[in-house]
């Protein structure tokens, strides 16, 4: 290992090509490390003990909301509870922490989708985050089934569907391999009638254009993994400063080593050195 990159971590970036293959990069400081060429090689990540808030730059002993200090976590709209539970969006009530941020990120078109991650699940994403959101969740298949006009509307549709299917991914199961392919179009046809009454209520309360049913094709995603682990153990920079091993692949926001896995997104703003 002769090459070294160092700086604050950010969530991995990715691109999906026309064949459904995913290319990953690891942002470290001002640089971005291409990860696909490192699969099958030794990679070492060392945490130097420094965490610096992604928003204000303040040094912090603990990272909140994947990269922020405690004061920023309390004041930023992107760290509010409604980001995790979009059905609780309160922008329309005039109580958003950052109304302008909400206008740009929440009061914009969103998609409700089905995905094959650790099994069938429902999820939501902004129109600008397809297919990034699916890649970050480790979905091998995804299908957008509704387009809505705001984050609130997407949350209402998602919670309706969550009565019948999962709305979370079992990350351990997701990292043990690819699920058998699913007929997501058939699943959507089965689920839509079950929430027809709730969809009608959303349209009644928010207007006919609040929810638009889609007739899209399924997107297939191929993750760069040479080998999956039978037993999943996770690394934690708060407990172990050095993560090292042969890189077997990348899925979701996880690096898969022969010695275990690490969720890069969890350690946003941690200063690390990468040797490869």
pLDDT at site 271:
98
Copy the structure tokens of residue 166. Answer: 């999962």
In 152-259, beta strands by DSSP E: 211-213, 219-220, 242-251, 254-257
In 3D, which of 59, 53, 42 has the Cα closest to residue 76?
53
Specify whether the CB–CB gap between 156 and 206 falls below 8 A. no
Beta bridge partners of 218: none
Residue 139, φ and ψ in degrees, nearest 5? -80, 130
Q: CA-CA distance, 181 to 103, in Å (whole number)?
A: 37
Tens of pLDDT, residue by residue over 71-129, are 999 999 999 999 999 999 999 999 999 999 999 999 999 999 999 999 999 999 999 99
Q: CA-CA distance, 154 to 82, in Å (whole number)?
A: 12
Coil, strand or helix at 13: strand
Q: CA-CA distance, 121 to 119, in Å (whole number)?
A: 6
Q: CA-CA distance, 218 to 201, in Å (whole number)?
A: 28
pLDDT at site 15:
98
Counting every residue written for the chain, the total comes to 276
Q: How many CB atoms lie within 10 A of CB 93?
A: 7
pTM, two decimals, is: 0.95
DSSP-derived letter for residue 59 is B
pLDDT tens for the chain, 276 residues: list them: 568 889 999 999 999 999 999 999 999 999 999 999 999 999 999 999 999 999 999 999 999 999 999 999 999 999 999 999 999 999 999 999 999 999 999 999 999 999 999 999 999 999 999 999 999 999 999 999 999 999 999 999 999 999 999 999 999 999 998 889 999 999 999 999 999 999 999 999 999 889 999 999 999 999 999 999 999 999 999 999 999 999 999 999 999 999 999 999 999 999 999 999
pLDDT at site 90:
96
By CB neighbour count within 10 A (0-12 exposed, 13-18 middle, 19+ buried), where does 99 fall? middle
């Amino acid at each position: 290992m002769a090459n070294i990159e160092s700086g604050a971590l950010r969530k991995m970036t990715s691109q999906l090509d026309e064949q459904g293959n995913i290319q990953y990069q690891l942002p470290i400081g001002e640089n971005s490390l291409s990860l696909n060429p490192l699969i099958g090689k030794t990679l070492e990540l060392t945490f130097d003990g420094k965490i610096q808030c992604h928003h204000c730059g303040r040094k912090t002993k603990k990272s909140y909301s994947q990269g922020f200090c405690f004061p920023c976590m309390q004041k930023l709209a992107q760290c509010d509870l409604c980001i995790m539970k979009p059905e609780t969006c309160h922008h329309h009530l005039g109580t958003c922490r950052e109304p302008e941020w909400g206008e740009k990120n929440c009061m914009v078109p969103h998609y409700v989708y089905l995905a094959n991650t650790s099994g069938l699940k429902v999820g939501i994403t902004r129109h600008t985050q397809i297919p990034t959101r699916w890649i970050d969740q480790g979905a091998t298949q995804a299908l957008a089934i509704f387009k809505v006009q705001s984050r609130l509307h997407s949350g209402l549709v998602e919670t309706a569907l969550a009565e019948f299917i999962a709305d979370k991914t079992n990350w351990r199961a997701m990292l043990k391999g690819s699920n058998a392919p699913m007929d997501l179009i058939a699943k959507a046809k089965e689920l839509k009638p079950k929430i027809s009454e709730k969809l009608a209520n959303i349209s009644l309360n928010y207007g006919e254009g609040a929810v638009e049913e889609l007739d899209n094709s399924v997107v297939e995603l191929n993750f760069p993994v040479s080998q999956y682990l039978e037993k999943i153990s996770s690394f934690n920079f708060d407990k172990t400063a050095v993560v090292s091993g042969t890189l077997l692949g990348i899925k979701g926001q996880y690096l898969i080593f022969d010695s275990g896995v690490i969720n890069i997104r969890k350690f946003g703003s941690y200063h690390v050195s990468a040797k490869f």
